[in-house]
Amino acid sequence: MTAEPETLGGLDIRRIMAALPHRYPFLLVDRVVSMVPKTSIHAVKAVSMNEPFFQGHFPGRPIMPGVLIVEALAQAAGILAVESMGLAGSGKLVYFMGIEGAKFRAPVEPGCLLDLNVEFTQLCGAVCKFSGKASIAGKLCAARRRERRPAEGLTAFTSPLRRRGWRKRIPCFPALPTLRAALPNLPGRSETGQSRSRVP
């Protein structure tokens, strides 16, 4: 008989911060309710009116941006990946590689408890695939599929860049100006990094 995966109890904010490099104001997971390594995780985000993004999104009608709901799901997936692969405390990071089929069903407003449910769908080498759903009191708010990959550091991971049918592997740097400086000969940019009027 195959042993059932062990279900871990909840993780407090200290364990979450040990697994993720994110910090205020971009740490979007407050607590892990339960987790089954290499299988699934249930985490929560308490959405408060004090969130900084509510100042501009939108004045008089505060709604959590959809991209941040996806980011919260991504962070929950990151915790699952780190704990499943035994990377906690190793200093290694887990990167967001791609997203498929994200859909938003209902607005997320201040005062709610956002449930983040993420499941492993595939583990291929160093690349993990997940599916996730964000909900409030059982009502679906957002759903998506996504990929993550662990890496030693910010310059250790390469990602494919596609443009008009061509593909090239480039270093993934933390800052856009650095990335531009590393790619002076991209189509659409001159040797000095200035934009061209037309792409040949």
57 labelled catalytic: yes
DSSP assignment of the chain, as one string?
-PPPPPPB--B-HHHHHHH----TTS----EEEEEETTTEEEEEEE--TT-GGGGTS-TTS----HHHHHHHHHHHHHHHHHHHTT-TTS--EEEEEEEEEEEE-S---TT-EEEEEEEEEEEETTEEEEEEEEEETTEEEEEEEEEEEEESSTTS-EEEEEETTEEEEEE--SSHHHHHHH-TTSTTB-TTSPBPSS--
Task: From the candidates 57, 92, 133, 145, give the one annotated as an active-site residue.
Answer: 57
Mind telling me the catalytic residues?
A: 57
